Structure 1
Amino acid sequence: MGNENAPLSLREKQRKERLELLLQVAEEVFVEKGYLDTSMDEIAARVGIGTATIYSHFASKEELMVAAILEQNFQKNTQRVVEICSDAEGNATNKLTRIFHFLVSSDFFRRRVEMLYILRGNAEAQRALLARQEKITTSVETFSQTLTALIEQGKATGELQTSTPTSAMVKAFIGLIRTQGITDTLISKYSASNDEILQVYLHGIATHEQ
């Protein structure tokens, strides 16, 4: 059985770095030019590789777009959330606040909305999304597990109330981030501030005098 933690060979390291650069450049080009005006040839030229090399990693422009825009951003955001939760400084509420502000202020939701428009009616893009779904799901599961552990920590210290199931708290928090992020993207002038929305989550809307 292979050792997953074994150091990469020089060739493997170079391949990994080249793939990371390819995804970074592809994201920049897709954002700059849009899906329709982006070509694999231009991405390859900017990276300094042949177009055939891109196709050795990705079957189509659509698959590269999904990997660069969705998959890569899910991974980056999840990594940052894990880092926030691992920080020795701050309690659960502080970390939830940091996570919320980080995610809703990122470009992720704007790009996700753009991706939804591209996916609509584009069979090739939908197939590409399915092809990359496993890696995206892994990032989502890691995010959910990390958030679950943080909320359980807050319950254990008496900071968060224990009457609501943790699963409901996690689902509500994720829904809050998604709703605020997309609302800010689509109808920003009608959106409440991030702080106002977060206070609803942390303190509720009902009085506690009932």
Structure 2
Amino acid sequence: MKLSIIIPAREEEKVIAESIRQFRDHLSIPHETIVSDARSNDRTVAVAREVAHVVVVFDGAKHTAGIGRNDGAKVARGEYLAFVDADTAIPDPETFFKRALAHFNSDPSVVGVTGPQRALPEIETWADRFSFGFFNFMLWFQNSILRKGEASGKFILVSRKAFDAVGGFREDLVTREDGDFFYRLSRIGRTVFDPSLMIYHGARRAHALGWARLWYIWTINAIAVSLFNKTVADDWTPIR
């Protein structure tokens, strides 16, 4: 198996089927789709089982995104692991993943690949364009100039070997597990930010909380993880 696409999900019955179908119907690279569910209270699991190759359901006390991603990776058979969110949309998965995987083939030192993101065109606001523009610049600067890995969990592609080498995602972090994971990857190899690998999503948290509040939450948690090795937030409530 070349590629395992792992989708952590929590109360995602409205979008999970389309998220899976974009790969099932438009990707010829040998792959599997894995939904890692956080014990959703809606029909996420039932819907996912109709279209995904594998569905795993969390059976524990407290769930985090890191647990969800790691649980998916445990059952994955792919040489490469792609982590995407349930609302992540990729217009041309075939071209997208060929470009992404090419980085590993052309440079053996590459351990992880990520790219920019935008809000879906039909809901995008000027605040989305500005904020994601700045966020994407920061991802480029961190990975390409500072050579310190940084990524969003909306899309991360990693070799299985590198994933295992760093021990996967931290399961104790309520947020920032994605950036922490990519930073640890950059300590054992090269992480790539490819501007051509654009993904789109619903910007649900930004639109619900407002960009000012979301930037504040992101910033204080990033500082806390960097300085104190833990997050300020003790929960990451889903916004649907």
TM over 0.5: no
**TM-score, normalising length: structure 2:** 0.29
- Going by fraction, where is strand more abundant, 1 or 2? 2
**TM-score, normalising length: structure 1:** 0.32
Larger Rg: 1
